[in-house]
Structure 1
Amino acid sequence: MTGYTGFEIAVVGLAGRFPGASDVDAFWANVLAGEVGVRRFTDEELDAAGVPEHRRAEPGFVPMGGALDGIEHFDAKLFGYSPRDAAVLDPQHRVFLECAWHALEHAGRLGDGEGVGVYASASINTYLLRHLLGNPAVPGGLQPLDLMLANDKDTLASRVSYHLDLTGPAITVQTACSSSLVTIHVACQALLGRDCDTALAGGVSIRPPVHEGYEHTEGGILAADGRCLPFDADAHGVVAGNGVAAVVLRRLEDALADGDTIHAVIKGTAVNNDGAGKVGFTAPSVTGQARVIRAAHELSEVDPSTIGYVEAHGTATPLGDPIEVAALTRAFDPAPASCALGSVKALIGHLDAAAGVAGFVKAAFAVRDGVVPPSPYFTTPNPETGLEHSPFFVNREALPWPSPRRAGVSGFGMGGTNAHAVLEEPPSPEPMGPARSRQLLVLSAATEQALEESRRLLAEHLAGDGPELADVAHTLRVGRRALRHRLAVVAGDRSSAGEALAGAWTGAGERGDVVFLFPGQGSQYAGMAAQLAEEEPVFRAVLDECDALLPFDLHEVLGDEERLARTRFTQPALFAVEYALAKLWEHWGVRPSAMLGHSVGEYVAACLAGVFSLRDALTLVTARGELMDALPAGAMLSVPLGADELELPGDVCLAAANAPKLSTVAGTFEAIDRFAATLSVTSRRLRTSHAFHSSMIDPMLAEFAARVRAVELREPVLPFVSNVSGTWITAPEATDPGYWVRHAREAVRFSEGLRTALAGGPVTLLEAGPGNVLTTLARQHDLASGGHAALGSLRHPREDKHDLDTVLAALGRLWIAGAPVDLAAVTSDERRRRVPLPRYPFEKARHWIDLPGTKAVAQVEAQPVAVKAEAVAEGDLAVVTGIWQELLGVARIGPHDDYFELGGHSLLATQILARITADLGVALPAGAIFEAPTPAKLVALLDRTRAQRPDEDDEFARLLAEIRDMSPEQLRAELDRERDAQEISQS
């Protein structure tokens, strides 16, 4: 095997559907077993295809073909199509959309469409010609442009780019039977030319009605008995097939660097045309074919003697096979019978525009798995081919294929456009580095049902042998599209992950905003975040940064229970851990919309908001802790009463109002004991060394004020809530040294602060600190039931779990809730592999217009849509809803159903607005449906538009009165003046 030239392309993903095979794995299994997908059609299938009895009785009629079953069904909702639009969309486009999704998913490249190009081809659209044109069953309201966009080949590649949000080139390639192999060539050139970084290439050929059969004519290219036997003495023609396939390609150097699973390597490709040097336009050419094969060898820098298999065009026609073998023989020059020859058309028929990519997939699997695929149909070489005097042989059985493995793939188009590719076995995968001890696995789907099926498929996959869990988790996080319904689970190995999926967190939340909570003194414990520091380099690096700015060894203190209990160490240690956690969350893409700290926790919020530099924040917090540590000891008491319910003696201070029914008071030990004895409720002494936020702090305030005045205070750039006021901090407060002095002395108004933070609507509260003190307080708040969620970042000291279990679970639940999360950043420091995983389970419904005159099943099967209100009301609402139902093709629409969720788009919106104008006499602006995307909102807009027109109606009445008072001569003269004015204006 020679070294790489730097121009190689890696095949990193494959997908397809073929006669007798629902995916590429089943297809490869059929190839190895010699399973033929071409079959005989039943009478019922021929009836549905509209084949009359007299045609079936013709002697040349062959009721066989390579049908692709289920083409009537499509996951329209996933791709944003209304039932009406789905029913008139070329099934080739629908099937290719789903295939493109699966191919990118197989490559682990569906997550990010930046720089992904699409190169696609399709066959002639017989659905438009046979099923739609002139068919009264076609839904009403369609404009010619609608049908053109839904059925034109030109829109195939762009349609994929649009629906999958791919931003590279989108090019439809049409070269007849060689189209899809040419798409691979064009994609390779685009990758080498840096037009894109990832390319999807492939083709589709679905020619309804697919169960129609065909007429064999003597001397024609179609087989007499439905069998395609390339290079065999009994060969007498080809059989038509239907299918789709796509491959995902990347530059080899990038694929290796990024940990892609590589199935095969493309050494080189070439494309040419026969020109005029042949007997006719449709005839093949030995010279043209030999030239393109030689060119591919030269570009690949490959000696043809190292090629062990050629996937031929192989149509089994009297003219085609002899010419192809002659061209191959001319292009190759090794010892006779050293290279195997085969053609997938023997199994699935001729897939026309998809034929080349089907053969490519077969050859890619062959070089990957080390198997020369069999041709079990083969008995005797066609004497016209001269196989016995060529370098080639046809093997009836699968043969082991040791390294080095190289294969050629040919595709020849009617009209003379020829393509050839040289493939090579993939390089051995490089070992990945060590992985974290816990992994976050995520799944998403468009519906709850699809999510449940995805869960089942993944659990089934994890129950068997397969890639490392770290690679599975990485692929799920970075290689899949994030859809509405979501699931997350944390696990340490494949078996536990499969089991944990049954109890995974799920949801379809819409809480995008996250509020960071920073706990205060009392939440600390020895060893907090130690496991996180071991496994998360970002967290560890920030702790190290803090350690370098502190006057003591932070890492030692965090592990020393006795030192950590001293206030002089507690406060800066807590600050460092919470600040490092916040920075880890930021690294993972989680940005707070607001922040709320508790006591010393507010310093973390202020530092993140830019009030303090990190150095100054640590200086102040250290000084604060040292000054407080030097004060006489005191006590604090937690009381299950609201602050307004407390009757405090003069020697006891309110230290914190934590929840509507939970307060903390502080004072001397004696004062706290006396006060506790007067209470009729059960109170609890807190494990604190001092009476914080009480009069016992007063002796340190002057010195602390001097320390605060020595640092620079800046206006906050992020909002956070003040402990002192319980409302949003203001710039004058944040930059006033006196505020930070009051902050140390006055009560912590946490309950009021939480009310402020929650007042703007549902948020996710994320406690960025040890344990769950603040999230527990939040759950006790009277606003807790308002759709909010509360999550912790670090385990409680009594929890028997790993730090990663807690923090990754929180990350997964944030993602489920809809918060902006950068899942790719979770393992940005690791080398991980993208691996093939179970495919997305499309939820398909029948969207089909049957042939005129056949036994129709259902013209347009209405897609089930959740109706969010009772039956529609009378008047305008009934009219608007009726228009929507007719033009969207949805059987029942509720007043609050969203137009775009129902599959609506901008072109259809103009038709709907035109109908509303015609039926209700009110002209709405062009963007009305974007402004009012439900029937109820649109009716409200109608009412507002009418209300704005009284002056226009009065003016119209005045003009009518004037016209009534005019004589015929006066009216004619007025109209003439108006016409002259318009002509002058136009000129």
Structure 2
Amino acid sequence: MTEYTGLEIAVVGMAGRFPGSSTVDEFWANVLAGEAGVRRFTDEELDAAGVSVERRAEPGFVPMGGALDGIEFFDAKLFGYSPRDAAVLDPQQRVFLECAWHALEHAGHLGGGQDVGVYASASIDTYLLRHLWNNPAVPGGLQPLDLLLANDKDTLASRVAYHLDLTGPAITVQTACSSSLVTIHVACQALLGRDCDIALAGGVSIRPPVHEGYQHTEGGILAADGRCLPFDVDAHGVVAGNGVAAVVLRRLEDAMADGDTIYAVVKGTAVNNDGADKVGFTAPSVNGQARVIRAAHDLSEVDSSTIGYVEAHGTATPLGDPIEVAALTQAFVSPPEACALGSVKALIGHLDAAAGVAGFVKAALAVQNGVVPPSPYFTAPNPETGLENSPFFVNREALPWPGTGPRRAGVSGFGMGGTNAHAVLEEPPSPEPMPPSRSRHLLVLSAASEKSLEESRTQLAEHLSAGGQELADVSHTLRTGRRALRHRMAAVVGGGESTAPAAASATALSEAWIGAGDRRDTVFLFPGQGSQYAGMASQLADEEPVFRAALDECAALLPFDLHEVLADADRLTRTRYTQPALFAVEYSIAKLWEHWGVRPSAMLGHSVGEYVAACLAGVFSLQDALKLVTARGELMDALPAGAVLSVPLGADDLVLPKDVCLAASNAPNMSTVAGTFEAIERFEASLSVTSRRLHTSHAFHSSMIDPMLGEFAALVSQVELREPRIPFISNVSGTWITDGEATDPGYWARHARAAVRFSEGLRAMITGPVNVLEVGPGNVLTTLARQHDLGGAKAFGSLRHPREDKHDLDTMLAAAGRLWIAGADVDLAALTADERRRRVPLPQYPFERVRHWVDLPGTAPREIEVIEVLPQAADTAVGGDLAVITGIWQELLGIARIGPNDDYFELGGHSLLATQILARITVALGVALPAAAIFEAPTPSKLAARVDQLRADATPAEDDEFARLLAEIRDMSPEELRAELDRERDAQEISQS
């Protein structure tokens, strides 16, 4: 077994798009099959790339390469870009941004909450040079700074950090062809130096037009026939490729402790430069390469004889290949019996800045799977390399890993100019067995659109149908390792299965809850006596430690065995046991919800349920609350028995005799009345509607309670009462309890006698869209709540009804999932925080890519639809103001249709563009909008109203001054206008501060 030094780095995630493969799994399958991504381009592709017929006929023109298809498509909406800004964003930055998302998602660490660093590299931006510069098809209104920010390499890492909310270092690394392998080295050093806890490292190389082909020149580095054959006798150069890849790295000890899936272990990396020890600036150096390889071996503390494969730089050039083999031979101080060489360039071409990470991914998959990848193109070694007299060889077919020790591989990346990098990889440690999990699991999915959400559901169902992963690990990864987006889905799966059978997983996902909405507060409802049943929450106590601990805490404060009572149907009918048992269960469920991140903004209890609300609000301590509830139950239990009748009429519609009392106003058409058995029987006979006798032992909230009130008030006066920290509704008044009521012992005596004004209280509490959560057994209160006009509120229950054949976790997890969908603050990670689970690879997010592209001049019609808007007169009517403002937005955002209530920032607007929009509106409408106007009024309709208000408030003197300023503005250049607006905004911020 491998012994680790504590300096190892784990590869816990990866993603990439390469010529011929859109995922890492496809890439690895192509590597094993020897499927080349380098191909010959069609005439249609060459036409679109602007390659003339004359150029195609020139000697040495090779219409081949490693193209990355679909680079013009991008999920701009997900990342908050307007169509205009997306069209001018360097495709390298777009593709790398999506790759970074997928890599972190693959690692199960896209959810945030950790210090993630970004280390990235990119090739020269040919999109700016060839597609944008001096191209009339570029969307209007763009300034040089806009194009610079969208295309400068320097913004690559920071762009990823911004859009994915990553707070570690964000560093762009550029060392030519070795760039992306150097990013991995820098990332490893940052992890060891504690600059970050997780590091994303990689590179991208996309040089549009990607279907252009190239011109071969005799003696150059580009192959004459479009074939890259590293170390082969027929090798005569490299072929250009396009691609992107990124890996996610962690300190090995952290990855193992956190249950990450580990694909490979980085034993060590090294970087150096040739210096002047070579024939020219662009030439490679044997000594420089040998030194960096040997340094990586030394830092890794591995014997070079144990390395079974090297993913070489392998450019297939007459000069490069012999030097690389000589350097390897010199660096391997303890030569292995045989060490295979390979280079991914043979399949996908030379990816320039992304070449190193592509080779790294290939080597990581090789050590993970125990397969030496083949080079099927190989015929015979180039005699200049000396391979036949070295321990190195090139294998044509896939081979099992040689030897019995840990599988180890090297990866080389050499940059033009002399920056060399080398990494040593080792097979991952065997995953530790995980303990048994809960019986049920919550699966959650989210997406930025309904279409992407549905695709995610289909992908996940197919993935689970294949089996092989524990549902607990799948649930854990989805809950903790993914970004929470607006459109959401949740399903409860499980029931004893350790893995996901096809039928069960497909059915659960097909019946999942789906929804989308903004964030909502949650209010708690606590049921009263009558909702209890034997065995309530027993399964929850078995599987949820937080609930069990809270229940045990309550049990320790009660004068009877709570756990025995909860299992005894007969004792639960006795009020002396019912009320404290019900309190304990509801309090414990509330503490579990609190642990899961769901905290109430307000509360309403029904009868004894109000004591739970008051305890959680801090009016009572838990000890005092249980003391009072127990005393209340005992005093009531000692009273003469009585009856309670449920009547399908509102409280105001009841005409009650003197010996019958209103016990509860529950709903607009539902009340309960209480009294002696005889009184209730007479009243029931007098009704013209069908009523129902409730199974209760006493006539609660009636005059039959009067004998106990004095003694109970005296008991309440003995405990400390505090003002509530969380607002809750009074059953007595049907509105918000006051501090004076909550701290008055007399109030709690009146509370036992007065009718429960639940219906009135519910209407007072719910004045807008909220989540209503019943925190207790059954669904009595949610049923009552749904009989009200909830104004968009959604009601959920926590525990099953006694007649439901469900597991407690089915109901609790369903409520958690549905609350999350409805916008509640649910801490999904906390659902199993006490369990140690594994993060596992799952299907990647299906980006909803749309074409955002500026074509080469003369090759295609303009893709961005814009609406030309002419300046309007200053006396334009309000309706005209809206049309002008909307038109300016459409033009500068590049969106053909914008509604009056569409949000500027949701459309992809940003602060730099806002200055242009405000300047255009100022000129078009003759109204001086302040620099912050679009932030304060972010929709066309609000901005039009702001214009109208400013116009109405203007004085004649201000009009004269504005006319003068407007004349100056019309003569300003865009740069001068922006500077002036920036100065105004700065002045406003200074004055406000």
Aligned with residue 431 of structure 1, among 409, 430, 433: 433
Aligned with residue 484 of structure 2, among 479, 482, 485: 482
Aligned with residue 913 of structure 2, among 894, 908, 912: 908
By how many angstroms is 1:943 displaced?
Answer: 1.1
Aligned in 2, Cα 1:780/1:358: closer, same or farther, shift over 3 Å?
Answer: same
Q: Distance in 1 between matches of 2:953 and 2:331?
A: 79
Q: What's the secondary structure of 1:875's corresponding residue?
A: helix
Q: Distance in 1 between matches of 2:56 and 2:505?
A: 56
Residue 95 of structure 2 is matched in structure 1 by 95
Q: Distance in 2 between matches of 1:590 and 1:23?
A: 38
Q: Confirm whether residue 137 of structure 1 aligns to residue 137 of structure 2.
A: yes
Residue 843 of structure 2 is matched in structure 1 by 838
Q: Distance in 2 between matches of 1:850 and 1:696?
A: 85
Q: What's the secondary structure of 2:630's corresponding residue?
A: helix
Q: Could you tell me the TM-score, scaled by structure 2's length?
A: 0.94
Aligned in 2, Cα 1:957/1:601: closer, same or farther, shift over 3 Å?
Answer: closer
Paired residues for 1:115-126 under 5 Å: 115-126=115-126
Q: What's the secondary structure of 1:549's corresponding residue?
A: coil
Aligned in 2, Cα 1:879/1:955: closer, same or farther, shift over 3 Å?
Answer: closer
Residue 978 of structure 1 is matched in structure 2 by none
Q: Distance in 1 between matches of 2:109 and 2:250?
A: 11
Q: Distance in 1 between matches of 2:83 and 2:801?
A: 51
Aligned residue type for 2:214: Y
Residue 629 of structure 2 is matched in structure 1 by 621
Contact 2:878 2:944 (8 Å CA) reproduced: no
Q: What's the secondary structure of 2:120's corresponding residue?
A: strand
Q: Distance in 2 between matches of 1:205 and 1:446?
A: 27
Aligned residue type for 1:464: A
Residue 549 of structure 1 is matched in structure 2 by 557
Residue 749 of structure 2 is matched in structure 1 by 741
Residue 784 of structure 2 is matched in structure 1 by 777
Contact 1:642 1:659 (8 Å CA) reproduced: yes
Aligned residue type for 2:95: V
Residue 864 of structure 2 is matched in structure 1 by 860
Q: What's the secondary structure of 2:556's corresponding residue?
A: helix
Deviation per CA, 1:352-374: give whole Å up to 9, x if none. 00000000000000000000000
Q: Distance in 1 between matches of 2:881 and 2:864?
A: 26
Aligned residue type for 1:883: I
Q: Confirm whether residue 787 of structure 1 aligns to residue 792 of structure 2.
A: yes
Deviation per CA, 1:907-947: give whole Å up to 9, x if none. 11111011111111112122211111110010011111122
By how many angstroms is 1:590 displaced?
Answer: 0.3
Paired residues for 1:508-657 under 5 Å: 508-510=516-518, 512-657=520-665
Aligned in 2, Cα 1:612/1:374: closer, same or farther, shift over 3 Å?
Answer: same
By how many angstroms is 1:333 displaced?
Answer: 3.2
Contact 1:241 1:350 (8 Å CA) reproduced: yes
Q: Distance in 2 between matches of 1:155 and 1:694?
A: 73
Q: What's the secondary structure of 1:944's corresponding residue?
A: helix
Deviation per CA, 1:549-594: give whole Å up to 9, x if none. 1111110100001111100000000000000000000000001010
Contact 2:304 2:336 (8 Å CA) reproduced: no
Contact 2:307 2:336 (8 Å CA) reproduced: no
Identical pairs, percent = 83
How many residues in Structure 1 have an aligned counterpart in Structure 2?
948
Q: Confirm whether residue 897 of structure 1 aligns to residue 905 of structure 2.
A: no
By how many angstroms is 1:952 displaced?
Answer: 3.2
Deviation per CA, 1:845-903: give whole Å up to 9, x if none. 1111111122x15433789xxxxxxxx99410111011000000001111111111111
Q: Distance in 1 between matches of 2:511 and 2:953?
A: 56
Q: Distance in 1 between matches of 2:665 and 2:336?
A: 91
Residue 985 of structure 1 is matched in structure 2 by none
By how many angstroms is 1:500 displaced?
Answer: 1.1
Q: Distance in 2 between matches of 1:859 and 1:65?
A: 26
Aligned residue type for 1:42: T
Residue 342 of structure 2 is matched in structure 1 by 342
Runs of 4 or more, structure 1, over 3 Å off, are 333-337, 951-960
Residue 990 of structure 2 is matched in structure 1 by none
Q: What's the secondary structure of 2:79's corresponding residue?
A: coil
By how many angstroms is 1:957 displaced?
Answer: 12
Deviation per CA, 1:578-621: give whole Å up to 9, x if none. 00000000000001010000000000000000000000000000
Q: Confirm whether residue 952 of structure 1 aligns to residue 954 of structure 2.
A: no
Residue 762 of structure 2 is matched in structure 1 by 754
Residue 988 of structure 2 is matched in structure 1 by none
**Gapped regions of structure 2 (runs ≥ 5):** 868-876, 966-993
Contact 2:263 2:428 (8 Å CA) reproduced: yes
Q: Distance in 1 between matches of 2:636 and 2:373?
A: 80
Aligned in 2, Cα 1:534/1:231: closer, same or farther, shift over 3 Å?
Answer: same
Aligned residue type for 1:29: A
Residue 972 of structure 1 is matched in structure 2 by none
Q: Confirm whether residue 796 of structure 1 aligns to residue 801 of structure 2.
A: yes
Residue 764 of structure 1 is matched in structure 2 by 771
Deviation per CA, 1:634-654: give whole Å up to 9, x if none. 000000111111111111111
Residue 975 of structure 1 is matched in structure 2 by none
Q: Distance in 1 between matches of 2:172 and 2:953?
A: 49
Q: What's the secondary structure of 1:604's corresponding residue?
A: helix
Paired residues for 1:305-344 under 5 Å: 305-335=305-335, 338-344=338-344
**Gapped regions of structure 1 (runs ≥ 5):** 864-871, 961-987
Q: CA RMSD in A?
A: 1.5
Contact 1:113 1:167 (8 Å CA) reproduced: no
Q: Distance in 2 between matches of 1:386 and 1:725?
A: 95
Deviation per CA, 1:690-727: give whole Å up to 9, x if none. 00111100111111011100000000000000000000
Residue 211 of structure 2 is matched in structure 1 by 211
Aligned in 2, Cα 1:573/1:549: closer, same or farther, shift over 3 Å?
Answer: same
Q: Distance in 2 between matches of 1:125 and 1:328?
A: 33
Q: What's the secondary structure of 2:898's corresponding residue?
A: coil
Q: Confirm whether residue 825 of structure 1 aligns to residue 830 of structure 2.
A: yes
Aligned residue type for 1:692: F
Contact 2:866 2:891 (8 Å CA) reproduced: no
By how many angstroms is 1:16 displaced?
Answer: 0.2
Deviation per CA, 1:395-452: give whole Å up to 9, x if none. 1100011652000000000010000000000000001111110000000000001101
Q: What's the secondary structure of 1:952's corresponding residue?
A: helix
Q: Could you tell me the TM-score, scaled by structure 1's length?
A: 0.95
Residue 449 of structure 2 is matched in structure 1 by 447
Q: Distance in 1 between matches of 2:958 and 2:82?
A: 38
Contact 1:337 1:393 (8 Å CA) reproduced: no
Residue 981 of structure 2 is matched in structure 1 by none
By how many angstroms is 1:686 displaced?
Answer: 0.5
Contact 1:333 1:391 (8 Å CA) reproduced: no
Q: Distance in 2 between matches of 1:2 and 1:281?
A: 41
Residue 866 of structure 1 is matched in structure 2 by none
Aligned in 2, Cα 1:619/1:459: closer, same or farther, shift over 3 Å?
Answer: same
Moved more, 66-75 or 942-951: 942-951
Aligned residue type for 2:88: V
Residue 295 of structure 1 is matched in structure 2 by 295
Q: Distance in 1 between matches of 2:893 and 2:357?
A: 35
By how many angstroms is 1:509 displaced?
Answer: 2.2
Contact 1:511 1:764 (8 Å CA) reproduced: no
Q: Distance in 2 between matches of 1:794 and 1:511?
A: 24
Q: Confirm whether residue 851 of structure 1 aligns to residue 873 of structure 2.
A: no
Contact 1:657 1:750 (8 Å CA) reproduced: yes
By how many angstroms is 1:335 displaced?
Answer: 4.5
Contact 1:932 1:938 (8 Å CA) reproduced: yes
Aligned in 2, Cα 1:437/1:954: closer, same or farther, shift over 3 Å?
Answer: closer
Q: What's the secondary structure of 2:749's corresponding residue?
A: helix
By how many angstroms is 1:52 displaced?
Answer: 1.2
Paired residues for 1:922-941 under 5 Å: 922-941=927-946
Q: Distance in 1 between matches of 2:212 and 2:8?
A: 42
Moved more, 938-947 or 439-448: 938-947
Residue 225 of structure 1 is matched in structure 2 by 225
Contact 1:567 1:628 (8 Å CA) reproduced: yes
Q: Distance in 2 between matches of 1:370 and 1:278?
A: 37
Q: Distance in 1 between matches of 2:803 and 2:467?
A: 35
By how many angstroms is 1:233 displaced?
Answer: 0.6
Q: Distance in 2 between matches of 1:346 and 1:845?
A: 32
By how many angstroms is 1:757 displaced?
Answer: 0.9
Aligned residue type for 2:419: T
Q: Distance in 1 between matches of 2:962 and 2:287?
A: 83
Aligned in 2, Cα 1:312/1:509: closer, same or farther, shift over 3 Å?
Answer: same
Deviation per CA, 1:215-273: give whole Å up to 9, x if none. 11111100000000000110000000000000000000000000000000000000011
Contact 2:304 2:335 (8 Å CA) reproduced: no
